[in-house]
Amino acid sequence: MLAAAATARLAEAGVPSARFDAEALLAEALGIDRGRIPIADDATPEQAAAYEALLARRAAREPLQHILGRTYFGPLTLAVGPGVFVPRPETELLAVWAARQVGRGAAIVDLCAGSGALGLYLAATVPGSRVVLVERDPAALDYLRRNAAAAALAGTATVLDADVRDPELPDRVAELLGTVDLVVTNPPYVPEGADLDREAAADPAAALFSGADGLDLIRELAPLAARLLAAGGAVAVEHDDSNGAGTAELLRAAGFGGVAEHRDLAGRPRYVTGRMDP
């Protein structure tokens, strides 16, 4: 079977999810859902050639999501590719936590929105929510706008082209200051010089690295989130697995109470949450 040989080939190339990727690429070449592979007709010569081309790219360790041009995040199908950070499944834990903190009509801000994974997830799952997604990078903004349009969330999701480090940003969003129910962010947080696997290294450096300790941007995001939130509002910040305690301390220093560190399903420190005390 094509997928069996392809799985062995990808495994030999060091792809960690060789079987899944081989099947996903076969489904792409055949134009079917992955679950239909066992009952699919044999590949035509054209489909086999297309599959070979896709496999060659993955064997060279091009990210699967770049090859397919999409990834999945909760109920969303997001366009991704070179120039935008590919959201990881672990971030869905933060998204689920965040959605449980607010009710209908919540005002939500996603800082360093990238592809829009967090903010669009919340726009799609919190009824009547009003979400502002802040991103500065032109390439990421292109994907963000495409994803917001594809999710059919016009009127509930607003994309703002802005740098979260800009001292004039609070003036640009003055109507939001002190009124927001929830702030979420998956910012650049990798310490400079950290070793990355080949797939992670394909993400844009600007979306990954944040100073020697990985906390430079979080240092600026914590007080910005505090200014945005209403009393009782919640914040959730994803961080490097070496920086749970450091992120928690930055939130406390910005005035947040109830600060808690959360782990992912593998037991690694993943995100920190807090709440603006009344």
72 assigned ligand-binding residue = no
Closest CA to 184 of 258, 244, 135, 234: 234
Query: Distance between alpha carbon 61 and the CA centroid of its chain, in Å?
Result: 20
| Cα three-residue angle 173-178-180, rounded to 5 degrees | 80
User: CA separation (Å) from 99 to 59, 78, 181, 248?
Assistant: 37, 19, 11, 20
Q: Using alpha carbons, list the distances in angstroms from residue 197 to 62, 83, 106, 157, 206.
A: 11, 17, 38, 33, 17
Judged by DSSP in three states, 74 sits in: coil
187 is known to lie in a ligand binding site = yes
249: annotated binding-site residue?
no
8-state DSSP, 75: T
Determine contact, residues 264/227, Cβ cutoff 8 Å. no
Pairing of strands 180-185, 229-238: parallel
Which residue has tokens 């041009």? Answer: 69
Q: Which two tokens stand for residue 183?
A: 């702030």
Which residues, 6 or more positions from 68, have their beta carbon under 8 angstroms from its beta carbon?
24, 25, 28
Diameter of the chain by CA atoms?
66
Q: Is 186 annotated as a binding residue?
A: yes
Is 188 flagged in the annotation as binding?
yes
Q: CB 41: neighbour CB atoms within 10 A?
A: 8
Residues at the binding site for substrate are 186-189
State the binding site: 135, 186-189
Binding-site residue positions for S-adenosyl-L-methionine: 135, 186
